Amino acid sequence: MSKLDKVVYQIYPKSFQDSNHDGWGDIKGVISRLDYLQELGINYIWFNPMIVSPQKDNGYDVADYRQFDPRYGTMEDFEELAREAKKRGIDIMFDMVFNHTSTEHEWFQRALNGEEKYKNYYIWKKGKAPGVPPNNWESKFAGNAWEYVEKFDEWYLHLFDVSQADLDWTNPDVRKECADIVNYWREKGVHGFRFDVINLISKWSYEDDPNNYDGRQFYTDGPREHEYLKELNRTSFGQDEDHLTVGEMSSTTIENCAGYAGADSNELDMVFSFHHLKVDYKNQMKWELQDVDFMSLKNLLFKWQVGMQEANAWNALFWNCHDQPRSISRFGNDKEYHKESGKMLAAAIHMLRGTPYIYQGEEIGMTNAYFTDISQYVDVESTNIYKVLLDKGLPEEEVLHILQERSRDNARTPMQWDDSENGGFSDVKPWLQSADSYRTINVKNTLKDPDSIFAFYQKLIRMRKEMPVVQEGIIVPLLEDHEKVFAYERKYNDESLICVNNFFAENTEIDLDLADYEVLLGNYPDQKPASHMTLRPYETVILYRK
């Protein structure tokens, strides 16, 4: 199975490297940084969408699935990128956004013009009464999820921004269009695909959410999900032996993911699930802060690891992506223990069973942006919620604090290459300003330091490439009741690998039968395996026995 030794690196192209002095990252910029990625050792790059889009949601509002947005470059640039990447043993994964299109997409425009064929590509309903939407569902980006179109006296569904109209997957023409798009990119040599919020494409029904919540129970993991994914697999990427696919699953369950990413289910290779990234949400609410609930974090990671293993299904492993605040600021300590906690988080996730994803800048320990003014934010979700929270009566200071912790822009600030202005991302003002930390946390400094977070990631990646126990070993949770340590074993034939991780800034003790193990890797120089060990702040140790 080809996915076993893969490590995927996610590039947010708008923020990676500008080559033509417009403050906007581009394909040529990526090409100029491929040597860096080769040095890191990754073998796949997932690109967030670079196709034509009005950028209301940074490319997740697609206006043309087959053309690059000229701000990123041309098809020739892309072909050069693919060639240059291949030379370095790197494959390419594209993001397919099929739950919705931009309202500027030709299909939606033709729908608005009254062409029945295209109107049927989207989801339209009558209102409950004049001026009253069809139901009480809420958009993920705040406000009601329906928009009224006077011409039809009907409302269209948008689970995300009002400019992102949901496609109607019950329509076979829509399914065919999506498969054709995947096939178009396959012909261009792309064999990796990430499917955006793909478990929202099949809706259950359109009734009111009785709990006055956002309605997700009626549009998540719907009745025809597995059927649609099997069909897409059959009619597109499944025809390539060497494909790599991952579905982004919103509020899903292990039972459903066992199908989405089951070894024999002919749907996808793996899934992103997000339960472990909500352990600092108070009452499950993204915009209500609480400290990380470490025991929930542990339990969720174990539950998914063991649950997916029992189902013979496969996880994508990650702490970061373009929608999440930076893990080092969230689960680590981005000040006193920057290096220690950056490495610990890396080991904790990379030794698990599944395929690891590294989000740009994670490998050098990039931190949250710590913006102090709303004018610094660009993200539509952040700017919308800012208004909503102010309207609710929260003081501005508190709202800004919430955004510092939760805004998606924390992940989207420019990649930090060096300590020159804008961190070497661009020599003009970037579309989103750099985080101040670029002055010290940057690639140039990192590469000078043999003991860097980057060097640690290189070692973890090499271990996955070389060690069957990392690729295929079964997972066994350890120290399940320990309140500070996340520990587990991977077993493969006679081999055993144990990874222990202290998630706190204080020393803690562990008792494990480790006397005949050797230390493979750790973030403190002098750890000795023993049946009783003291782990220092954010210490990680990877131990091995054959």
**Residues marked as catalytic:** 196, 248
Total chain residues near ligand TEU (CB under 6 A) = 13
Residue 79 in tokens: 């072909």
Q: Taking CB under 6 A as the rule, does residue 381 contact ligand TEU?
A: yes
381 vs 489 by CB, closer to ligand TEU: 381
Does residue number 323 form part of the binding site for ligand TEU (CB under 6 A)?
A: yes
Contact call for residues 238 and 231 (beta carbons, < 8 A)? no
Which is closer to ligand TEU, CB of 318 or CB of 544?
318
Q: What is the sign, positive or negative, of the torsion defined by CA atoms of 265, 266, 267, 268?
A: positive
Contacts of 285 (CB under 8 A, 6+ apart): none
Of 281 and 524, the one with the shorter C-beta distance to ligand TEU is: 281
The alpha helices in 279-337, defined as continuous H runs, are 294-310, 327-330
Task: Tell me if 97 contacts ligand TEU by CB under 6 A.
Answer: yes
Residue 280 binds to ligand TEU (criterion: CB under 6 A): no
> Using CB under 6 A as the criterion, what x/- string covers residues 231-250 for binding ligand TEU?
-----------------x-x
Rounded to 5 degrees, what angle do the CA atoms 224, 100, 151 make? 110
Provide, rounded to whole angstroms, the least separation between the CB of residue 279 and ligand TEU: 14
520-534 in b/e form (b: 16+ CB < 10 A) is bbbbeeebebeeebe
| Choice from 6, 14, 140, 412 touching ligand TEU (CB under 6 A) | 140
Q: Whole-number minimum distance, CB 264 to ligand TEU, in Å?
A: 28
Closer residue to ligand TEU, CB minimum distance, 119 or 322: 322
The 10 Å CB-count burial string (b at 16+, else e) for 216-247 is bebbbbbeebbebbebbbebbbbeeeebbbbb
Which one, 6 or 140, has the nearer CB to ligand TEU?
140
- Give 197 or 345: the residue with its C-beta nearer to ligand TEU: 197
Distance of CA 535 to the CA centre of its chain: 30
> What is the 3 state secondary structure string of 39-71?
HHCCCEEEECCCEECCCCCCCCCCCEEEEECCC
Nearer to ligand TEU (CB atom), residue 197 or residue 301: 197
Report the residue from 68, 160, 185, 417 that binds ligand TEU according to the rule CB under 6 A. 160
Assess 57 for contact with ligand TEU (CB under 6 A). yes
Among 9, 46, 47, 60, binds ligand TEU (CB under 6 A): 60
- Closest distance to ligand TEU from the beta carbon of 324 (Å): 8
Interface mask (CB under 6 A) for ligand TEU, residues 329-368, using x and -?
----------------------------------------
Which secondary-structure segment (H or E) carries 195?
Answer: strand 192-195
Look up tokens 């491929």; give the residue: 34
The tokens for 49 are 């969408």
Q: Of 523, 481, 327, which is closest to residue 410 (Cα–Cα)?
A: 327
Rounded Cα distance between 445 and 467, Å, is 30
Residue type, 543: L
Hey, which bits of 208-331 come out as E strands? 244-248, 270-272, 281-282, 285-289, 316-317
Residue nearest to ligand TEU (CB): 60
> Contact with ligand TEU (CB under 6 A): which of 110, 230, 278, 286?
286
* Closest CB 339 distance from ligand TEU, rounded Å: 29
Residues in 100-139 that interact with ligand TEU by CB under 6 A = none
Asked whether the beta carbons of 167 and 174 are under 8 A apart, the reply is: yes
Sole binder of ligand TEU in the list 196, 214, 269, 340 (CB under 6 A): 196
Interacting residues toward ligand TEU by CB under 6 A = 57, 60, 97, 140, 160, 196-197, 248, 250, 286, 322-323, 381
